[in-house]
With several copies, the nearest count.
Chain A
């Protein structure tokens, strides 16, 4: 009937990259948890922060705002923020918001790590 999911957020490490992997819809109710997890990952000053969206079937502008904020913090920290593995529906909202050219977006997590 519905494949909406309650949001879960996983934090993983690979080499010197920290990976934040949310699973579920990112909307106004889920964005604060994502913001908090990304901010926590950033406090460890990784040189590379990857947000893996493979498990995100839906995102609204609350999610986009969270990612824009994370990118600005990463820039101030001289860190690299890469978003990877967007599902088609989520890619289309990045395009509508004209953010597909603003973020570094990788096809896969492997690409994001070697980018």
Chain B
């Protein structure tokens, strides 16, 4: 599925509380920086993770604050460096095809999170965990020369 074989160097477990997003973002941004991403990209990668965590809190756990979310982070040692972030929960499993943002032209509050995640990350893969919950795999590779190309292909 992915070319990255490194063991996760960092694992974070947080309660499903909006107040903890800031801590998760700070950790992700610092790890992205270790991967050589510039400040704007570090901010965007932590935004993508923030959006995924928000969705788990809102949709997966219906805003219950006593549930758990696990985030594991690995960084490849070889160039071009990649950061891989796996986010897991124990929420009800839903069809992966139901996870999608609204049509961007139909402007209304909400419905942007999944779009933001997909715009920022190179790989965005939702799947069912065993025995329960969802797993989201996010990968971003730090290829300065190809960054532009990727973006153009995508849009």
Chain A positions within 8 Å of B, measured between CB atoms, are: 1-2, 4-6, 25, 27-29, 58, 60-62, 64-66, 68-69, 72, 88-89, 92-93, 96-99, 102
Majority secondary structure of chain B interface residues (helix, strand, loop or mixed): helix
Cα of A29 to Cα of B21 in the assembled complex, Å? 8
Interface size class of B (residues with CB under 8 A): 35 or more
Cα of A54 to Cα of B73 in the assembled complex, Å? 32
Within 8 A of A (CB), among B20-41: 21-22, 25-26, 28-30, 33-34, 36, 39-40
21 A-B pairs with C-beta separation under 8 A: A2-B22, A2-B26, A2-B29, A2-B33, A4-B29, A4-B30, A6-B33, A6-B36, A25-B22, A27-B21, A27-B54, A28-B54, A29-B17, A58-B25, A58-B43, A58-B47, A60-B47, A61-B116, A65-B110, A93-B47, A102-B107
B residues near A28, Cβ cutoff 8 Å: 18, 21, 50, 54, 57-58
For A1, A60, A97, the residue with the greatest tally of chain B CB atoms inside 10 Å of its CB is A1
